[in-house]
Amino acid sequence: MDKNSIKNSTYIVRLKEQDYKEKHNTFISSIKNIITNNKSYTQDVIEKGFLQECFEDSDFVYLCFVDFKIRGFAIVNHYKNGYKLDVIGIAPYPNVDTRNLSPPKKLHGKDIIKRIVSDAKRFDKKFIILNSVDDKITYYYNHGFRFIQHYLQEEKIWMKENVDQLFADYRNNEDKVTMKQLLKNRYFKRYLNNIYKFKYLEKKNDDDTFEDILDDGIKMIKVI
């Protein structure tokens, strides 16, 4: 693959194909660059070793180039009759003095999500599932991901009310309470109990276990 041919394009890379590394050195070097600079692409959320394992175990990877540079990626796996979005990352853009230069073409997470959704529809997939860290819940919710256990379900009315109240509390809290703390204090224990079937959610003062669930990510599904 010639670097000059990938100015503004998105490619799907299947790393498990045997002769792939020999034919697509540009893509492999781009993936190595993402792993090396994992803190920039994932806002320091995902450790380098774990990210490398995700790439190695992936069914396919989206690599997004803007102006010949790798700017974003998504790691996706087959999941029953849907897709599982394991990791998505965007490189930060440097500040540009637009008085002298035209602003750069930017890539956003929603652009990658739209591409994955489009491909999922094309292959007759029914949903996309992910595990969201606490501070990304609002982002994914605004892009159509919901707190449901199965793609044939609709989100419960009480959950929608919880979400609306959660977002309002997070926007308006003067004490700068984190999203994680709000979740631990007031929201979603009923939802998590339904998903994980853990009796610990009925116990008192089991904050450590509940925090482990939040650290692993809360299941969200986008129905296609």
> pLDDT value at position 203?
52
> Distance (Å, rounded) from C-alpha 67 to C-alpha 70?
8
**How is 110-164 classified by DSSP, letter by letter?**
HHHHHHHHHHHHHTT--EEEEEE-GGGHHHHHHTT-B--SSTTS---HHHHHHHH
- Token pair listed for 145: 């991901």
> What is the model's pLDDT at position 73?
94
SS3 state of residue 68 = coil
127-132/218-223 β-pairing: antiparallel
DSSP assignment string, 3-56: GGG-TTEEEEE-TTSTTHHHH-HHHHHHHHHHHHTHHHHTTT-S-HHHHHHHHH
Position 76 scores a pLDDT of: 96
Using a 10 angstrom Cβ sphere, with 0-12 exposed, 13-18 middle and 19 or more buried, the burial of residue 121 is exposed
Q: What is the pLDDT of residue 101?
A: 53
Intervals of the chain under pLDDT 70: 1-8, 17-24, 93-105, 185-209
> What domains are there in the chain, each with its CATH number?
1-125 (3.40.630), 134-224 (no CATH)
pLDDT of 149: 85
**Predicted local distance difference test score (pLDDT) of residue 40:** 85
Contact 92, 106 (CB under 8 A): no
Angle between helices 48-57 and 25-36 (to 10 degrees): 150
User: Which pLDDT score is estimated for 179?
Assistant: 82
Instruction: Summarize pLDDT for 123-140 with one digit per residue, the tens.
Output: 999 999 999 988 888 899
Instruction: Tell me what pLDDT residue 130 has.
Output: 94
